Amino acid sequence: MSVIEMDGLRKEFTVRVKAGPLRREKRTVTAVDGVDLRVERGEMLGYIGPNGAGKSTTLKMLTGVLTPSAGRARVCGLRPVADRTRLALRIGVVFGQRSQLWWDLPLRDSFDLLRHVYRVPAGAHAARLARCRELLDLDGFLDIPVRQLSLGQRMRGELTAALLHGPEVLFLDEPTIGLDVVSKQAVRGFLAELGRAGDTTLVLTTHDLADIERLCRRLVVIDHGRVVHDGSIAELHRRYGSRRMVVAELDVALPEPPVLPGAPVQRVEADGRRLVFALERASVAEVVAGLAGLTTLRDISIVEPDIEEVVTRLYRAPAGGAASAVTGAP
Amino acid sequence: MGSVTATVAPPTGAHVTPWFRTFGAIAAAGFRRHATYRQAAVAGLCTNTVFGFLRCYIFLAAAGAAGTVAGYDRAQLATFVWAGQGLLAVIAIWGWTDLADRIRTGEVAADLLRPVHPVTSYLATDLGRAGFASLARLVPPLVVGPFFFAVYVPRHWATVPLFLLSALLAVVVCFGCRYLVNATAYWLQDVRGPMILWTLGSGVLAGLYFPLGFLPGPLEAVLRYATPFPSILQVPLDVLVEREPMSTGLTLVGVQAGWAVLLLALCRLVQRRAERRLVVQGG
């Protein structure tokens, strides 16, 4: 049995918009539009999409905060809304833009309170806290009230708070938002370690695609409330025609950009002394050999496909076009 | 990493002792949270004391040369005022918008993600807050008042425990009312309107602006038994000054308990209805 199941999950909101000096009209906005998904135990799933795509709404429905308008959801075999209190014992949630810690209390007191709230045996709590203290380097600010913590410190506290009761599923909604590079690395490293253990399912929404590349083997892209891609990052590149690039630095510019079979020139830079080839059918060796016959090479570098570029293309696709992508059409 | 992850079976079933332990831990945290704001407590105490003098002189003037008004003698009026000034902070009759603020900002989502019902969690926190206020805000006016006015000392030994029970129930009833006023934010987002109505209504009908005994008898009776407001302030103060016989005091505390149960049930009902239409915007 999958640890997360969604069948035709849908959420509509009613908004009132001004339609005249004294008149307001009700409009229905569909935030999530029939999402079907299965997530297996131990999986690390990246759940991405542009602003307003329905990512956070999906997470809120899966955690029992929001009631779906239609469809069915099960997490750990429980109905998120009807069984919310029981489900809370089995999941952990981190909302990057909200806090589950007590603002006025030191982090240490918040953790102690969570032990009672989740009724965790003292031994298990102490062991998990000790591990988190080590991995997330919490000791320097455990006795500081949460309201005085920096964003990076608070986020490390939030992660710990979400894990102290040993959840089976961890939902992370933009956990690296606003963090500096060092804090991001700490959070990513911690989550990667968590994923390696393999007994916690992790669902991650983020706008920082480096989080996804580092942590998730499976990527689900949602747009206009619909899933437009469900597969690995490599599959996403294949589907959208992402290519590796070869950047060749020449001693002397060629009079015309060379024509190499299977590797068209993408860009000509530095007055013709830098050529960027896209690898379509040709290999790196063939490009290098082709160029070596024409001119003297100073340097060669290979640029891997950029996930940001392909996701940008995906986000910019019209709603219908993007939706067709889930079936495999680029 | 195994020690951080899902290795311990989550507890299941509702056991009474762990429930009380959880409730106690949340209440203790509530005490600690409010104990951090000591300067605010001192400022509030000064304000209450100043108003204590004002109210006391006004009520004593109302008693006039006869020395009694609405069934209170001068000593009972002084106790009514000074105990009332302290009790105001214990019940936190005004100014509590925590829930409404969290609904407006979406932070309420974090409350819903905990394995404790929000009403239970907020009640436990409020009782912890009231515990701190009892020490920091109730005791000082009770000490200051007798230095300047002749106050009434209860004649029956049972009055003090009955007052403490009544004060505890007053906190619960007041919490229930405040929770319901705050919960209108689920529908309205902005609770300034309901809050103004609550501030005015509770001040008049709970016996803060004047003891309800100043009102005509039938109106006072209707307010006492048919509305929760007197249970917030008037009842515990009347119990303390022994305005009524002990049997009536017991009845009034029973009515308080009834309102406490009814309001908590209503809070849970409203919470359940609100969650169905909850919108948490912006990530």
- Per CB-CB distance under 8 Å, the chain A contacts of B282 are 97
Answer yes or no: do B26 and A117 touch at CB < 8 A.
yes
- Per CB-CB distance under 8 Å, the chain B contacts of A113 are 25-26, 29
CATH of the domain at A17: 3.40.50.300
Q: Say which amino acid occupies B201.
A: G
Instruction: Report the predicted TM-score, pTM, of the whole model to 2 decimal places.
Output: 0.86
What is d(CA A49, CA B106) in angstroms, rounded to the nearest whole number? 21
Confirm whether A163 is domain-assigned. yes
What is d(CA B261, CA B268) in angstroms, rounded to the nearest whole number? 11
Tell me which residue in B24, B29, B115 faces A102 most closely, judged by beta carbons: B29
What is d(CA B225, CA B210) in angstroms, rounded to the nearest whole number? 18
What are the φ/ψ torsions at residue B261 (nearest 5 degrees)? -65, -45
B113 touches chain A (CB under 8 A): yes
Range of the domain at A133: 4-238
Cross-strand partners of A204: A46, A172
The per-residue pLDDT for range A106-163, each reduced to its tens digit, is 999 999 999 999 999 999 999 999 989 988 889 999 999 999 999 889 989 999 999 9
DSSP category for residue B175: H
Cross-strand partners of A12: A30
Is A105 found in the same domain as A170?
yes
The per-residue pLDDT for range A207-232, each reduced to its tens digit, is 887 888 888 989 999 888 999 889 98
Residues 274-293 of A with CB under 8 A from B: none
Which residue shows structure tokens 């990530």? B283
Q: Which of B136, B127, B174, B179 lies closest to B36 in space, CA to CA?
A: B136
Chain A: residue nearest B32 by CA?
A105
pLDDT range class, residue A16, cuts 50, 70, 90: confident
Tell me which residue in A13, A102, A168 faces B279 most closely, judged by beta carbons: A13
What is d(CA A291, CA A154) in angstroms, rounded to the nearest whole number? 53
Q: Which residue has the higher pLDDT, B170 or A273?
A: B170
Residues 291-330 of A with CB under 8 A from B: none
DSSP H or E stretch at residue A191: helix A181-197
Three-class secondary structure of residue B267 per DSSP: helix
Quote the pLDDT of residue A239.
78
Is a pLDDT exceeding 60 seen at residue A326? Answer: no
What is d(CA A60, CA A80) in angstroms, rounded to the nearest whole number? 9
Three-class secondary structure of residue B178 per DSSP: helix
CATH of the domain at A281: 3.30.70
What are the φ/ψ torsions at residue A216 (nearest 5 degrees)? -110, 135
Q: Which residues lie closer than 8 Å to A325 by C-beta, 6 or more apart?
A: A228, A229, A239, A314, A317
Confirm whether A322 is domain-assigned. no
Task: Break chain A down into helix, strand, coil percent, rounded to 5.
Answer: 35, 30, 35
Is A252 found in the same domain as A148?
no
Which residue among A203, A238, A273 closes a domain? A238
Confirm whether A313 is domain-assigned. no
Residues 63-122 of A with CB under 8 A from B: 63-67, 81, 84-86, 88-90, 93, 95-100, 102, 104-105, 109, 112-113, 116-121
Our measurement of the distance from residue A275's CA atom to the centroid of its chain's CA atoms, rounded to an integer in Å, reads: 33
Number of CB pairs, chain A paired with chain B, less than 8 A apart: 128
Residues 183-212 of A with CB under 8 A from B: 193-194, 196-197, 199-200
Quote the pLDDT of residue B162.
97
DSSP category for residue A128: H
Tell me which residue in A64, A118, A200 faces B5 most closely, judged by beta carbons: A200
Quote the pLDDT of residue A330.
32
Chain A: residue nearest B14 by CA?
A86
Query: How many domains does chain A contain in total?
Result: 2
The first and second tokens of residue B276, run together, are 């169905």
Is A200 found in the same domain as A272?
no
Beta-carbon count within 10 A of A183 CB: 19
What is d(CA A166, CA B4) in angstroms, rounded to the nearest whole number? 6
Quote the pLDDT of residue B283.
55
Answer yes or no: do A100 and B282 touch at CB < 8 A.
no
Is A195 found in the same domain as A52?
yes
**Full DSSP string of A244-285:** -EEEEEESS--SS----TT--EEEEEGGGTEEEEE-SSS-HH
Quote the pLDDT of residue A233.
82
* Strand duo A44-48 + A218-223: pairing: parallel
Answer yes or no: do B5 and A163 touch at CB < 8 A.
yes
The per-residue pLDDT for range A150-161, each reduced to its tens digit, is 988 998 999 999
- Per CB-CB distance under 8 Å, the chain A contacts of B278 are 65-67
What is d(CA B263, CA B257) in angstroms, rounded to the nearest whole number? 10
Burial group, residue A291, by CB count within 10 angstroms (0-12, 13-18, 19+): buried
B16 touches chain A (CB under 8 A): no
- Whether A9 and A58 have beta carbons less than 8 Å apart is answered as yes
Quote the pLDDT of residue A137.
87
Sign of the Cα pseudo-torsion (B262, B264, B269, B274, in order): positive
Is A169 found in the same domain as A299?
no
Cross-strand partners of A93: A171
What is d(CA B249, CA A165) in angstroms, rounded to the nearest whole number? 47
Quote the pLDDT of residue B181.
97
Answer yes or no: do A95 and B109 touch at CB < 8 A.
yes
Q: Which of A58, A144, A56 lies closest to A101 in space, CA to CA?
A: A144
Sign of the Cα pseudo-torsion (B180, B182, B186, B188, in order): positive
Is A251 found in the same domain as A149?
no
Beta-carbon count within 10 A of B98 CB: 16
A42 touches chain B (CB under 8 A): no
Is A231 found in the same domain as A113?
yes
Quote the pLDDT of residue A196.
86
The first and second tokens of residue B71, run together, are 């069934």
Is A226 found in the same domain as A267?
no
Which residue shows structure tokens 């956070």? A56
DSSP category for residue B94: S
Please give the average per-residue pLDDT across A76-101, as a whole number: 92
Answer yes or no: do B22 and A200 touch at CB < 8 A.
no
Whole-number mean pLDDT of chain A? 87
Is a pLDDT exceeding 50 seen at residue A322? Answer: no
- Write b or e for each residue in A319-328: b if 16 or more Cβ atoms lie within 10 A of its Cβ, otherwise e: eeebbebbee
- Per CB-CB distance under 8 Å, the chain A contacts of B275 are 67, 81
Residue A78 Cα, gap to closest chain B Cα (Å): 13
Confirm whether A326 is domain-assigned. no
Please give the average per-residue pLDDT across A60-85, as a whole number: 94
- Whether B213 and B127 have beta carbons less than 8 Å apart is answered as no
The first and second tokens of residue B115, run together, are 């394995």
What are the φ/ψ torsions at residue B212 (nearest 5 degrees)? -65, -15
B276 touches chain A (CB under 8 A): yes
**Full DSSP string of A275-323:** EEEE-SSS-HHHHHHHHHTTS-EEEEEEEPPPHHHHHHHHHHS-HHHHH
Residues 32-51 of B with CB under 8 A from A: 32-34, 36-37
Tell me which residue in B113, B116, B282 faces A100 most closely, judged by beta carbons: B113
In angstroms, the Cα distances linking A189 to A132, A164, A184, B282 are 12, 18, 8, 27
Give the residues of chain B that fall short of pLDDT 70: 1-14, 280-283
pLDDT range class, residue A194, cuts 50, 70, 90: confident
B4 touches chain A (CB under 8 A): yes
- Write b or e for each residue in B111-132: b if 16 or more Cβ atoms lie within 10 A of its Cβ, otherwise e: bbbbbbbbbbbbbbbbbbbbbb
The per-residue pLDDT for range A280-296, each reduced to its tens digit, is 888 889 999 988 888 88
Three-class secondary structure of residue B50 per DSSP: helix
